[in-house]
Chain A
């Protein structure tokens, strides 16, 4: 597998020793994405009450370090919120909109000028979709089937914009893809190797 070996140095943007050097570049890149990305939603995170990340989706190119920083900040900030406060937060130049569903926090970072209430409903709609797909969705569903959750998300939000507002269309698209699959039953019970 020569290709693997060859690819390793290339994908070295994650090598820790290059971090210091890349820091500046990252910062520049970050600035770039901050100023030019016209996205509405920058990122979407799902994490548990214990701060474990369950799902993360980035709609603007974000360097790895930055991602970790965001996740750390989000979990600490959001988890520290007291009850009966609003569902919005300021973080850097972003507005963070979050909502807790049972043990899971859904949290997204918005361009500052967006309509926060709408984002709250985006989260809600995502939960509804998950719920419809998994049926009475719970955190475990998402943990064990996170790739499905990603598929649903990709049908629903694309590039940080709402792609499909019709619930039936989203589920139809997912189901269409799923139909090709062996029944879930079969898939699950088969030994992996």
Chain B
């Protein structure tokens, strides 16, 4: 017992302890576990240990499979196998026995069994299913301990699919008299909420009860659930803010039992949980924030004991204060806290202080100023963690004036850093900074800036190597390619890049990472013609040398080859532009290119070989070359159909023949994650954020930084947030975000001397600043002065008189990014097309292509969504005013009819039909329906005429038709009067022979599809015994009245009708039937009829409110996602696409918010289908949910068709 644990507590009641201590000693001498452990500790080599454990495992295996092993022994065995597993040796044979032990053992054995299960298995393990019954049994046990154990294991691991089986039991436990059971039940529900939020939707009210539980433990447990739920939608819980404040007040005021104290701080964990909740609730909500000012103040005041835990609370307070609606007084206190942290000699506190400062500095840059000397010290701290955190902080305060210094510091760190994750993160940050600032510096010193930019990027590429995210090089290239507004600047930048890369290649290319080589070859290929005195031959030669090096990867080779291809025009036949400067080398260059092509045309690498052959051809045919590889920005005009819409036909064909719809990887991922992914977000109003966060999640990239910054075109603060990685990200407030520094100008007087001091030496130009970093002098106070100087260069632009510049800072990048993003789709497709045009299989291109493409689409959506919203709204309300007509080009004529004759809600089919709408003036939906079926109207047979109409659906009768109907009047007049006013299709002919012609029409009644069959006798004599048989296996065919007539008089028309219901969804159904009749004097005839009905005929709009929709959505299980073609991409794509769908398929558009719309419909029998549509990546991403398995798929097919036919 030499290793006595360092005592941190002075006095502890140790009732059990004495037994246990001696017990431990004894155990080691007698039990097998003891022997095992002993044995292992005595061993010296890893190899011996392995042997020993192998032996042990073999013994265990034998014992567990012996039928004579008792449960008691099994428990002991299980402990040993847990031990072996812990050491990293697999004992998977014992898993099943762990489950058995949990099932069959007595309480104690069960406990070990459960423990083993929770340690051995993970959530997805299939054996876990075997545990369900045991848990079920134990939950019902009368033994509290068993119930406890069951709840414990449930809240650790439980198969998601089986939650419904035990949910009622767990729910019941919320009312258990024992608080420990209640607490564990809450915890188990929390777990359920995390893995399957839908399942616990209905018990939200019980959570409230748990929150008010008299036992603080239960209350505390419920806070976890609330924190999670509030994270997802703060708005729904604002009403609870008051309660949380009250609870926090009580906790802070020491109203909880003393045993919740921790180092005499009352329930610190509960406090922190509450503070986090309050931060979420108070964010962007002034009135809620006001509720909590007092309690926050009190929390800060009470947290005065100097102990880690109080600092933890203070840290949380600071975060909350800066997150909620600001209050001057509290901000001051928070700032003081941060100061205490930063200045603390305790390193942990210093770290936390830096973290808090990073969090806060975007809102209050002056705080960084106050602590600048500390920050400088931390920058040189021996602890790398502190250093890194400081860089994080500096990253936040970067502006155009200090960017060079800060980037320099970050690069210094990078050069010494060996940790992959840190490198990836920092490289992305540096790249972001570098790209953010070079082009938009207002000052005229552009030349050093160009150099700085290219050099910084070169360092990044060198240091980042293969680790960095692929979008950094592609962003860089895009930046070069798109350029800025000034052509001359672009030229300078490109020329500089070419120069520096050429000299790099000339000196020492061996150490350059592949990515960098790719960038270099692209730049050289694209821009080396800009530099007049650079011979293309020289460049080609440099590039060819790369090809010959063995360490160049094959995808890099194809980049190089592409570049050579581009250059060959200048070097080779050279009529286009080579000419003057490089004139001497033309022949030589051509030879070189030929040689390269020759050499690689037999390469084993098929890709390379293909390119070599292409090169061979291209270099001989200048015209072709000019067309395929146009020089300069000519390729900007190339267009690529990135939505692949030309494949739509193929896709829908495949779908029609039963193929499963394609789901892009991110959708599949999303489905895997299923819960919360979209189900809650789309209906909240925060679209730009949810949108971008969605796409971020989709990307699955290791660090989200540069992606998110790329996406957040309209909000620099968003970029900062996502970029941070190490901070609580929810923090930034609108009020404080973009113009956020304004309020703090008021605070400036608090530290008047500092800013002046700093701003004064701040040199206006960059060279001076960077030289300040490495001063050559050597006097005693040198160090201090260094620091001062560093400080002045770091914090330049933060001081008060520069605060305008500061304010500009977070905002200013936005326009630039915006601009870039705006072009994004074009340029993405353009650049990719330019590359892929000559080497379509180029994997390297793919690298460029995919990353650009994926990022592209988000911004146009953000651009337009605001302008969309208003018109969408009116549309959704169903008010068809003429003003809407441009939005709904398809429905133009129809909308007019609507205006004239129908109430505004005409669009929904089941609204009262407008009187007197003639057959040719169908309301829009029906038109749609017709169009759908018209392409395929297969036809039918003859008989005598039957008219049937019905007073009720069940008892149709045969009223006399108006006389004029006998003379084949407008078809719709044959419809029974009660059907006439319903939306219906035109009569379409089915079949005919010399005496009888049949046609049919579909009437969309609210509760059924009515198929009206019209029989007209064309011959001179009456037809007798006309009978109609109609059948369809897929449909419920009902109401067959009117299908038998004794006679159909000459030249008369009769109708009969059927109601059809679709029970299981099908895209199309065939209704077949026959009509038989007998001529008065002749034989009997039979006409076969068949008609194809589409699912669309059986759909009806489902009128819902957004809330109802939300609820329903969560309860539906079958879902399908697909991207569809978007109509009218220039105007208002979502709106017009949805209106087309609405018209054609009788959907109800519930709501449209920004770029998302929700739509509902139902199958006639009542099965609903909900659609969530989002404009994404130039396509309409549709997510369908329904309780009926096939319905989403079928509907999807029709959606596709509907959009295509447009």
Which A positions have Cβ atoms within 8 angstroms of B? Answer: 1, 3-4, 7-8, 10-11, 13-14, 28-29, 31-32, 35-38, 53-58, 61-62, 64, 68, 71, 82, 84-93, 95, 101-104, 112-113, 115-118, 120-121, 124-125, 127-128, 131-141, 143-147, 150-151, 154-155, 158-159, 161-169, 173, 175-178, 180-181, 183-185, 187-189, 191-193
Contact = CB atoms under 8 A, between A and B. Distances in A.
A133 B20 contact: yes
13 contacts: A4-B93, A4-B96, A4-B97, A7-B95, A11-B96, A14-B90, A115-B316, A121-B268, A125-B262, A154-B115, A163-B183, A169-B259, A192-B30
B95 A104 contact: no
B152 A154 contact: yes
A165 B1084 CA distance: 91
B461 interface: no
Interface residues of B, number: 122
A117 B669 contact: no
Contacts of B260: 165-166
Nearest to A148: B20
Given A102-B3, A120-B348, A154-B156, 17 more contacts: A4-B96, A53-B86, A54-B86, A71-B88, A85-B383, A101-B6, A104-B3, A116-B348, A127-B5, A135-B21, A139-B5, A159-B190, A173-B148, A176-B144, A177-B149, A184-B19, A188-B26
Interface in B119-172: 119, 122-127, 144-145, 148-149, 152, 155-156
Contacts of B626: none
Contact of A135 (B17, B115, B180, B190): B17
Ordered nearest first, which 10 A-B pairs have the shortest CB separation? A135-B17, A135-B14, A117-B312, A118-B312, A1-B65, A85-B383, A168-B259, A11-B92, A61-B122, A86-B347
Given A90-B421, A166-B257, A35 B145 contact: no
Interface stretch (B217-225, B655-663, B999-1007, B1181-1189): B217-225
Contacts of A128: 8-9, 12
A62 B122 contact: yes
Nearest to B112: A147
A93 B3 CA distance: 34
B26 A189 contact: yes
Of the listed residues A57, A95, A165, the one surrounded by the most CB atoms of chain B closer than 10 A to its CB is: A165
Nearest to A125: B262
Nearest to B22: A185
Contacts of A86: 347-348, 350-351, 383, 385-386
B741 interface: no
A108 B1159 CA distance: 46
Contact of B5 (A3, A136, A164): A136
Given A55-B86, A128-B9, A161-B224, A121 B309 contact: yes
Interface stretch (B462-470, B616-624, B720-728, B766-774): B720-728
Given A121-B268, A133-B20, A183-B19, A144 B96 contact: no
Given A55-B86, A146-B83, A165 B23 contact: no
Contact of A131 (B9, B30, B124, B127): B9
Contacts of B231: 38
A13 B128 CA distance: 14
A61 B123 contact: yes
A14 B85 CA distance: 12
A167 to B, nearest CB: 6
A86 B308 CA distance: 13
Contacts of A141: 20-21, 24
Contact of B16 (A133, A151, A180): A133
Contacts of B511: none
Given A61-B123, A117-B308, A166 B217 contact: yes
A140 to B, nearest CB: 6
Contacts of B7: 131, 136
Interface in B239-267: 257, 259-260, 262, 267
Contacts of B67: 1
A116 B86 contact: no
Of the listed residues A32, A159, A183, the one surrounded by the most CB atoms of chain B closer than 10 A to its CB is: A159
A58 to B, nearest CB: 8
B18 interface: yes
B187 A163 contact: yes
Interface in B658-698: 669, 672-673, 697
B64 interface: yes
Contacts of A140: 1, 3, 24, 28
Interface string B101-121: 000000110011001001100
B422 A90 contact: yes
A91 B421 CA distance: 7
A32 B673 contact: yes
B92 A14 contact: yes
Contacts of B383: 82, 85-86
A100 B725 CA distance: 27
A174 to B, nearest CB: 9
Nearest to A176: B145
Dominant SS among interface residues on chain B: helix
A54 B262 CA distance: 26
Interface in B334-392: 347-352, 355, 382-383, 385-386, 388
A100 B1 CA distance: 18
Interface string B1158-1188: 0000000000000000000000000000000
Of the listed residues A3, A140, A189, the one surrounded by the most CB atoms of chain B closer than 10 A to its CB is: A140
B698 to A, nearest CB: 10
A90 B96 contact: no
Given A86-B347, A90-B388, A127-B5, A192 B31 contact: yes
Given A35-B697, A84-B347, A136-B7, A11 B422 contact: no
B780 interface: no
A143 B76 CA distance: 15
Contacts of B853: none
Contacts of B794: none
A135 B64 CA distance: 34
Contact of B79 (A1, A54, A118, A147): A147
Nearest to A120: B308
Contacts of B37: 143-144
Contacts of A191: 30
Given A53-B86, A175-B16, A180 B155 contact: no
Contacts of B808: none
B628 interface: no
A184 B145 contact: no
Contacts of A104: 3, 5
Contacts of A87: 348
Nearest to A94: B421
A33 B21 CA distance: 40
A162 B259 CA distance: 15
Nearest to A29: B124
B728 A113 contact: yes
Contacts of A91: 421
A61 to B, nearest CB: 4
Contact of A166 (B5, B115, B259, B386): B259
A125 B5 CA distance: 14
Contacts of A113: 726-729
A193 B73 CA distance: 7
B228 A188 contact: no
B30 A124 contact: no
A93 B705 CA distance: 12
Given A14-B90, A85-B383, A189 B267 contact: no
Interface in B24-39: 24, 26-28, 30-34, 37
Interface in B489-528: none
Contact of B93 (A8, A116, A189): A8
Nearest to A64: B90
Interface string B955-969: 000000000000000
Given A32-B672, A61-B122, A158-B152, A192 B108 contact: no
Nearest to A162: B269
